[in-house]
């Protein structure tokens, strides 16, 4: 399992816009580089990132080889109710990583 | 006499398949944009693409896109796409959001292969498209680090 770091405020007021940061450890090999022998290094990237808030998808991203290694993405959502934010990354070679964070909404 | 510099340049060329670096063709760029817009016009405005104009290292560049939108159920941004015409592939990143995002803005880190004009394109809920473009200069092309 790849290392993930997510940053979500622990508490928020109802209706507040909260900023979320999500990072995952991954080489994001572009598939355009050549190794020492001149052979092409096969592509190995994360294709998609999904953030769900209490089971409902609120943000989704599609990555291409132009996304730098260890993809970091920062976005926002409205704090609607207390619950759980779930993050899921998936990509080439069956790559999959998950993270979650709790948020308390007053 | 072969200098270290010559060798480096040779290695750089070899890394991208010999004859120069692999760039997306203008046709590929047009195709990538048409795939998103379906041929609709995407005038400049409402979108702000934030990326440093001078990039020292193209391997990791902080890029953020903000769209001027109230983000209500009736009027919100559905998707934001970023394109790089001189990268090997024109598509960089696409994000899909909705009224629950609160504001239409995201930040990530990208690779920029060469000096070029990056394009951000936003699709709004009313079906319109808006764009912004920023010309960037890359001093260390990602190429120099392509050879392991």
Specify if A38 maps to a domain: no
Residue of chain A with shortest Cα separation from B84:
A66
Q: Which CATH number goes with the domain that contains A66? A: 2.60.40.10
Nearest to B121 by CA among B67, B63, B74: B67
Interface of A to B at Cβ within 8 Å reads 17-18, 30, 32-36, 38, 41, 53, 56, 58-69, 71-78, 80
Specify if A67 maps to a domain: yes
Report the pLDDT averaged over residues B87-110. 94
Beta bridge partners of A76: A19
Q: How many helices (H) and strands (E) does chain B have?
A: 2, 8
Q: Model's pTM, two decimal places? A: 0.86
- Spell out a b/e string for B24-33, using b for 16 or more CB atoms within 10 Å of the CB, else e: beeeebeebb
Of residues A33, A56, A61, nearest to B146 (C-beta): A33
- Is B22's pLDDT higher than 80? no
Residue of chain A with shortest Cα separation from B13:
A34
Q: What pLDDT digit, counting tens, does each position of A18-63 carry?
A: 999 999 999 999 988 888 888 999 999 999 999 999 999 999 999 9
Are the beta carbons of B23 and B114 closer than 8 angstroms?
Answer: yes
Q: Which domain holds residue A61?
A: 4-31+43-105
Residue of chain B with shortest Cα separation from A21:
B107
Give the closest-approach CA distance of B58 to chain A in angstroms: 9
Specify if A37 maps to a domain: no
Classify residue A68 by its DSSP letter: P
Of all residues in chain B, what percent carry a pLDDT higher than 70? 80
Specify if A36 maps to a domain: no
Give the closest-approach CA distance of A15 to chain B in angstroms: 9
Q: What is the mean pLDDT of chain A?
A: 93
Nearest to A60 by CA among B76, B48, B79, B108: B79
Specify if A55 maps to a domain: yes
Q: How many domains does chain A have?
A: 1
Of residues A34, A72, A74, nearest to B147 (C-beta): A34
């Amino acid at each position: 399992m790849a290392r993930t770091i997510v940053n979500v405020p622990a508490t928020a007021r109802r209706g507040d816009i909260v900023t979320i940061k999500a990072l995952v450890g991954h080489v994001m090999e572009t598939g355009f580089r050549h190794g020492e022998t001149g052979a092409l290094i096969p592509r190995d990237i994360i294709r998609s990132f999904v953030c769900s808030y209490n089971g409902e998808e609120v943000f989704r991203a599609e990555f291409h080889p132009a996304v730098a290694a260890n993809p970091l993405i920062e976005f926002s959502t409205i704090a609607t109710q207390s619950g759980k934010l779930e993050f899921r990354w998936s990509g080439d070679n069956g790559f999959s990583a998950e993270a979650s964070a709790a948020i308390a909404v007053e | 006499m072969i200098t270290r510099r010559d060798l480096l340049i040779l290695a750089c060329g070899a890394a991208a398949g010999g004859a120069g670096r692999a760039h997306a063709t203008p046709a590929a760029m047009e195709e990538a944009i048409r795939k998103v817009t379906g041929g609709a016009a995407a005038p400049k405005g409402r979108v702000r693409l934030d990326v440093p104009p001078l990039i020292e290292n193209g391997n990791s560049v902080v890029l953020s896109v903000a769209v001027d939108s109230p983000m209500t159920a009736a009027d919100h941004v559905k998707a934001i796409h970023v394109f790089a015409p001189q990268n090997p592939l024109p598509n960089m990143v696409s994000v899909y959001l909705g009224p629950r995002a609160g504001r239409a803005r995201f930040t990530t880190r990208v690779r920029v292969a060469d000096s070029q004009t990056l394009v951000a394109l936003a699709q709004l809920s009313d079906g319109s498209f808006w764009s912004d473009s920023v010309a960037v200069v890359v001093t260390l092309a990602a190429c120099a680090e392509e050879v392991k």
